[in-house]
Chains A and B, each alone.
Chain A
Amino acid sequence: GNSVTQMEGPVTLSEEAFLTINCTYTATGYPSLFWYVQYPGEGLQLLLKATKADDKGSNKGFEATYRKETTSFHLEKGSVQVSDSAVYFCALRGDNTDKLIFGTGTRLQVFP
């Protein structure tokens, strides 16, 4: 079945450092891929998405490229801020379904 694997955290960075959070997936067909962010005590917010191979999703300085050849959707940001501290979830949605399958989440901690 479909699944998502993302790197375990926590990821601890200093402000202005470069961020990469790895995400790989297993799916049949042509899934859509998402990154969601969850701030402490809150629900999920969509950060970015990509719906087909080679698409790049971007938002608030974050980027991720849908790589079908490596089945990956790694999240990157060139310069993180303290306010980026949160848990990041990679997710996919398979063909003909609205069901989202999530990874286990990666906690990012950014220190001044």
Chain B
Amino acid sequence: ETGVTQSPTHLIKTRGQQVTLRCSSQSGHNTVSWYQQALGQGPQFIFQYYREEENGRGNFPPRFSGLQFPNYSSELNVNALELDDSALYLCASSLGSEAFFGQGTRLTVV
């Protein structure tokens, strides 16, 4: 139990639709990162938020966007969904050197 919760746990969307994934950080953690884990692969860094500002971005197109709220919870938004967006999306919160991961949201795009 890491104290990081994500919702929903599973989601099915149609190509072209938009999706919002949510993450509740561990109490007091002011940094949240999002990762995409395709089947059989390691997680890939999407972006990070620190105190409500984007603080680093991986090699993902602008249709991947995010928000961090004053309570440090976070959202990942993906527009114009593509079939290749099907993956496990992981949120990690941190305060200092260690990142704590949620259980992820399994997104399937059909």
A residues whose Cβ falls under 8 Å from a Cβ of B = 4, 32, 36, 42-46, 49, 51, 89, 91, 93, 97-105
Contact = CB atoms under 8 A, between A and B. Distances in A.
Contacts of B58: 99
A9 B56 CA distance: 31
B56 A99 contact: yes
B48 A99 contact: yes
Contact of A44 (B31, B45, B48, B101): B101
Main secondary structure of the interface of B (DSSP, over half): strand
A79 B55 CA distance: 42
A46 B98 CA distance: 9
Of listed B94, B99, B102, B103, residue having the most chain A CB within 10 A? B99
Interface string B4-35: 10100000000000000000000000010101
Main secondary structure of the interface of A (DSSP, over half): strand
Given A32-B97, A98-B31, A99-B48, A42 B103 contact: yes
A76 B4 CA distance: 28
B99 A46 contact: yes
Contact of A45 (B33, B35, B42, B101): B101
Given A36-B101, A98-B99, 15 more contacts: A32-B97, A43-B4, A43-B6, A43-B104, A46-B100, A49-B98, A51-B97, A89-B42, A97-B56, A98-B55, A99-B48, A100-B45, A101-B45, A102-B44, A105-B42
Given A32-B97, A43-B90, A102 B103 contact: no
Interface in B33-80: 33, 35, 40-45, 48, 55-56, 58
A103 B42 CA distance: 6
Contacts of B6: 43
Contacts of A97: 56
Contacts of B99: 46, 98, 100
A44 B97 CA distance: 16
A102 B33 contact: no
A89 B11 CA distance: 25
